[in-house]
Amino acid sequence: MKFGILLLLVLALACALGSFIPQGHTLDWYLQNYTERQAALIYGLALDDVFHSVWFLVLAVILCCNLLLCNLLHLPGLLARWKQAGDPEKAPNAAACEAPNQAQPEQIFEKLHMPAPKRIEADGKTSLFSVKNRLGLWGAWVCHLGILLLVIGFTLGQTTTEEYTVYGVPGQTKPVGDTDYTLTIDDFGVEFSESGGVQQYTAQLTMRDTRTGEQQSDSAAVNAPGNLFGYRVYQNSTGTAAKLTVTMDGKLMQEEVVCVGDYTYVLQTPLMIYLDGYQEDYFEQRPGYAYSTYYMGQADQGGVQVDGDIALRYGSVEISFSEPQDYTLLQVKADHYAWLVLVGGVILLLGLFLAFYLPTRRVWAEQQSDGSWTVYGESRKGGALFAEQFREAAGLPDPRQTMSAPPEASGENNETESR
Amino acid sequence: MLQAENVLFTITILLYVAAMVFYFLFIAVKKESFAKIATLIQLVGLVLHTVALICRGIGAGRLPLTNQYEFATSFAWGLSLVSLIFLWRFKFPVLGAFAAPVIILIIGYAALQSREVRELMPSLRSSWLGIHVSTAIIAYGAFGVSFVLGFIFLMREKMQNSAFWDSHVPAREKLDVIGYRSVCLGLLFLSFTMITGAIWAEQAWGSYWSWDPKETWSLVTWLVYAIYLHMRLRRGWKGRAAAIFAVVGFICVIFTYIGVNTFLPGIHSYA
């Protein structure tokens, strides 16, 4: 247990550290923003990428082992306690509250909302026994199981997830990474609200298996990813694309759609052109395309071409941009263990509910030789509150009226003892 | 509607301040009638606060849970609600006296934020918004109450020979269990918040967990309260130690809410 608590503490500290130290920068960045020694420490201990570091993974594995061992080791004891909680013969060993000289014990059971007590006749003695919320005993165990599945699912997902980025304009078909699938963007639209704000981005998509020719279609929008061949397709981002036209002596040589941020080789020239940006109302209500060119890999020139003009000439080659349109950036992903994380999360919630809101309670009564009853009660987590309820149900005086009991003397202590 | 919300928000603050004054009078003068008036004022404040939030929701045409102002006022609403439930359930108005200043601090923080109604970005247009944020409000409210109870526990120790504290504040062992109950409520709802948030993030961002500072600090807060429960259940860490831990836990909650937005911006920067 000590080790488990220490592990939780180390994980909390590691997470805090990972949030305070900016993640994923280069060594140069850390050298600029920290002292040389600090930067060396950050890089040396992989604090630049805490959540994907080996030591963090090791912590996750240790946590899994700890949870697994904890659950396995506690299972026999838990099963014994489960049996014991329903066994009237074991009850007298765990009394936390006692109300002697009761004439109608059934009323106490009723006031404490206990199930109707079982009447037991043994060795000439009569007793009553009732147990409630035995399932609550399993709360912590179920919680641990949920966390275990969640961490396993997350760790496996992190290491096995397939993730690709595809972007383009309607009509384009692009390969999905190195898979056997292609993705065709059938349509892409942006919905605007009355005030002009963007409400939704929606792409209509068709994915094709190039091995079998089979294809599936679906739409992908923000908060509503598409499902194609086991991949989730997310509408991730959007931007502007334009038609790049290259002519030589007036004859069309090249025509293709390029997105802002794309590098494109210009045929018939040693040039590469990069579309830097786009402005809708750049000059005299005409759009402008910012571009840069690279000659033999070296930055050459740049400028802004107004819609309808020629961007640049290279000998008899004319290069221009036109027909601005929206492109969509899609994320294609297959996380084969996300379901395990979800199952783990649901089990965790169930475990917490069992642990916190179904406290096991036992109430039993024994008939004395004079015909009166002594009623006993025990609650695993009710503690002082259950003791108070029991006292009220039995009509016993409040001990605070007479003396103040130290915390250790309260029924709450059973919580630890019974575990 | 938004004008009505402005007026109601101001009245709510004044009512919470009035409730605090009456709670303090109850402690100073030791007359229970002041406590009853204070609770009644807080209840009226909570009702008007609810109406203010509804007005904002109608005026904005969406759930009022999407920016710093809206979450702060909802956080104060959650704390007010949970504190009144605990006050009603466990019948000790001193809880209200200690909760009221915290509520006023949070709603005061809300008052300092921009109240402009902005159109939602597409990723926030989801039915998960209501579930995710409303569970966070209950979780934060419950942790706020555990903080207040921890504080009362520590005060109770100092006031051992006070007849007023003996008669109006539960015994330490009972305070300890009530504090534990509020942490349980908070942790259950925080877990629910994190799980619903993960489901939503998967749909909106394509990743159910991306170690964003808000996510990371929610996890840190969850781990801190998990440590609290383990220490309590296995190591017998109750009473004073648990009360101090509840106070520290709430500092993590506040850092997750305000500190992360101020010092560690990420994809949750609007919340």
First to last CA, chain A: 12
Neighbours of B14 (CB within 10 A): 13
Q: With both helix axes pointing from N to C terminus, report the angle between A338-357 and B172-205 in degrees, rounded to the nearest 10.
A: 160
Phi, psi of B138 (to 5 degrees): -65, -40
pLDDT for res A91: 63
How far, CA to CA in Å, does B218 sit from each of B190, B260, B261?
A: 8, 10, 13
- Considering only CB atoms, which chain A residues are within 8 Å of B198? 341, 345
Whole-number pLDDT of residue B156: 86
Distance from C-alpha of A35 to C-alpha of A32, rounded to nearest angstrom:
8
| B162 inside 8 A of chain A by CB | no
* Range scoring the smallest mean pLDDT among A11-15, B48-52, B61-65, B214-218: B61-65
**Model-level ipTM above the cut of 0.95:** no
Contacts 24+ apart (CB under 8 A), A69-73: A70/A4, A70/A144, A71/A141, A71/A144, A71/A145, A71/A148
| Residues 6 or more apart in contact with residue B89 via CB below 8 angstroms | none
Q: How far apart are CA B36 and CA B47, in angstroms?
A: 17
Tell whether the model's pLDDT for residue A122 goes beyond 70.
Answer: yes
| Pairing, β A312-314 against β A317-334 | antiparallel
Cα angle A406, A411, A417; round to 5: 105
CATH number for the region B123-271 comes to 1.20.120
What is the per-residue DSSP string for A171-228? T-EEE-TTSSEEEEEEEEEEEE-TTS-EEEEEEEEEEEETTT--EEEEEEETTB-EEE
What is the pLDDT at residue B235? 67
Residue A206's pLDDT band, with cuts at 50, 70 and 90, is: very high
Tell which residue, A145, A98, A153, A114, has the closest CA to residue A341.
A153
Q: Return the pLDDT at A417.
A: 35
Q: How far is CA B84 from the centre of its chain?
A: 12
For residue B126, give the chain A residue with the closest CA: A223
C-beta atoms of A20 and B264 within 8 A = yes
Give the model confidence (pLDDT) of B125-156 as tens digits. Answer: 899 999 999 999 999 999 999 999 999 999 88
Candidate from A193, A236, A341 with C-beta closest to B119:
A193
DSSP H helices in chain B: 2-29, 32-60, 68-90, 94-112, 128-158, 163-168, 172-205, 213-235, 240-254, 260-263
Q: What is the pLDDT of residues B36-66, one digit of tens each?
A: 999 999 999 999 999 999 999 998 888 888 8
DSSP letters of B217-235?
HHHHHHHHHHHHHHHHHHH
How close B64 gets to chain A, by Cα (Å)?
Answer: 17
What whole-number distance in Å separates Cα of residue B69 and Cα of residue B109? Answer: 8
Chain B environment of A198 (Cβ under 8 Å): 121-122
Closest approach of B260 to chain A, Cα-based (Å): 9
- Please tell me the predicted confidence (pLDDT) of residue B17: 96
Q: How far is CA A242 from CA A202, A273, A330, in A?
A: 20, 13, 18
* A37-58 residue pLDDT tens: 999 999 889 999 999 999 999 9
Residue of chain B nearest A387, judged by CA positions: B174
* pLDDT band (50, 70, 90) for residue A162: very high
B6: exposed, middle or buried (Cβ count in 10 Å: 0-12, 13-18, 19+):
middle
Segment A312-334 shows an average pLDDT of 91
Tokens 């007590």 belong to residue = A117
Q: What is the pLDDT of residue A235?
A: 93
Confidence of residue A406 (pLDDT cuts 50, 70, 90): very low
Q: Which of A4-18, A327-341, B107-121 has the lowest mean pLDDT?
A: B107-121
The CA angle A346-A348-A350, to the nearest 5 degrees, is 70
Contact state of A232 with B233 under an 8 Å Cβ cutoff: no
What's the whole-number mean pLDDT along residues A81-93?
Answer: 77
Model confidence at B215, in pLDDT bands (50, 70, 90)? very high
Specify the amino acid at residue A53.
Answer: S
CB of B253 within 8 Å of a chain A CB? The answer is: no
What does the block give as tokens for A128?
């009553």
Tell me the pLDDT of chain A averaged across its residues. Answer: 88
Helix (H, G, I), strand (E, B) or coil at B45: helix
CA distance A352 to chain B (A): 6
| Percent with pLDDT over 70 in chain A | 93
- B163-202 tens-digit pLDDT: 888 888 888 888 888 999 999 999 999 999 999 999 999 9
- Tell me: the pLDDT tens digits for A349-396? 999 999 999 988 999 999 988 889 999 998 877 677 888 889 999 888
Instruction: Note the pLDDT of residue A309.
Output: 87
The model's pLDDT over A282-297, given as tens digits with 9 standing for 90+, comes to: 888 888 999 999 988 7
Neighbours of B263 (CB within 10 A): 11
Q: What confidence score (pLDDT) does residue A403 get?
A: 44
Q: Calculate ∠ Cα B183-B187-B191, nearest 5°.
A: 175
pLDDT score recorded for residue A407: 44
Mean pLDDT over residues B112-126, rounded? 87
Q: Which of A73-82, A93-102, B86-95 has the lowest mean pLDDT?
A: A93-102
Angle between helices B172-205 and B128-158 (to 10 degrees): 160
How many C-beta atoms lie closer than 10 Å to residue A37's C-beta?
A: 8
Q: Rounded distance, CA A118 to CA A104, Å?
A: 15
> Residue range A80-92: average pLDDT?
79
In the block, tokens 């062992």 appear at B173
Rounded Cα gap, residues A287 and A305, in angstroms: 8
Residue bearing tokens 């960045």 = A29
Give how far the C-alpha of residue B241 lies from the chain's centroid of Cα atoms, to the nearest Å: 22
- For residues A222-236, give the mean pLDDT: 94
Output DSSP code: residue B212. Answer: -
Q: What are phi and psi of B61, to 5 degrees?
A: 75, 25
pLDDT at A382: 67
Chain A residue with Cα closest to B235: A416
* B206 close contact with A: CB closer than 8 A: yes
Burial class (CB in 10 A: 0-12, 13-18, 19+), A153: buried
Pairing assessment for the beta strands A263-265 and A271-283 based on DSSP bridges: antiparallel
Q: Could you tell me which chain B residue has the CA closest to the CA of A234?
A: B206
Segment B3-48, tens digit of pLDDT: 888 999 999 999 999 999 999 999 998 888 999 999 999 999 999 9
Query: Domain limits of chain B?
Result: 1-115, 123-271
Instruction: Give the pLDDT mean for B242-268.
Output: 84
Record: contact B260-A19, CB cut-off 8 A: yes
Lowest mean pLDDT among A170-174, A398-402, B263-267: A398-402
Model pLDDT, residue B15: 96
Q: How confident is the model at residue A147 (pLDDT cuts 50, 70, 90)?
A: very high
